[in-house]
Amino acid sequence: MSSPVLIAIDASPAATALLTLARRYCRPGEHELHVLLAIDSTFAVHEQPAPYTTEELEQYPAACKEQHQADDAVAKAVGELQQAGFASQGCMIAGQPVEAIVAKAQELNCELIIMGHRHLSRLGRLLDPSISAKVIDRVKVPVLVGPA
């Protein structure tokens, strides 16, 4: 039985580094890789990937664009991992990243979480606390943090 690993990405190019970390430390057949991307709920048009209506595109162009980028990033990441031989699934969740990552890791009973870290100044961390630090404080599994 393969062990679940959660990879928390965003839609930035830094996600590639996280997938590289996962391929380095996980093994096909031994680990099932789950990709998660959390977006602000104000930018979530649909709960799951679905075509946008003309009305949605006209009323919520920024939200449609944001969710489309998120859905594409998850699909791309899952495709890359599957091509590398991993059993992999992905999802986009509308909500706060810390809560989404912690809940998904608990739901999957993950043995590891892989996520990025932004290099912030002390002032930056004070004004915008680290998501990775908050996740580390709330989970009981190892968290592999890569540079973002």
Report the pLDDT value the prediction gives residue 127, as an integer from 0 to 100: 57
Q: Is 29 in a helix, a strand, or coil?
A: coil
| Other beta carbons within 10 Å of 40 | 12
In this prediction, the residues of the chain whose per-residue pLDDT falls under 50 are: none
Instruction: Report the candidate in 56, 49, 42 with the shortest Cα–Cα distance to residue 95.
Output: 42
CATH C-level class of 1-144: alpha beta
In the chain, where are the structural domains located?
Answer: 1-144
Report the pLDDT value the prediction gives residue 108, as an integer from 0 to 100: 97
Q: For residue range 25-37, what is the model confidence (pLDDT) as tens digits?
A: 999 999 999 999 9
Report the pLDDT value the prediction gives residue 123, as an integer from 0 to 100: 57
Q: Is 45 in a helix, a strand, or coil?
A: coil
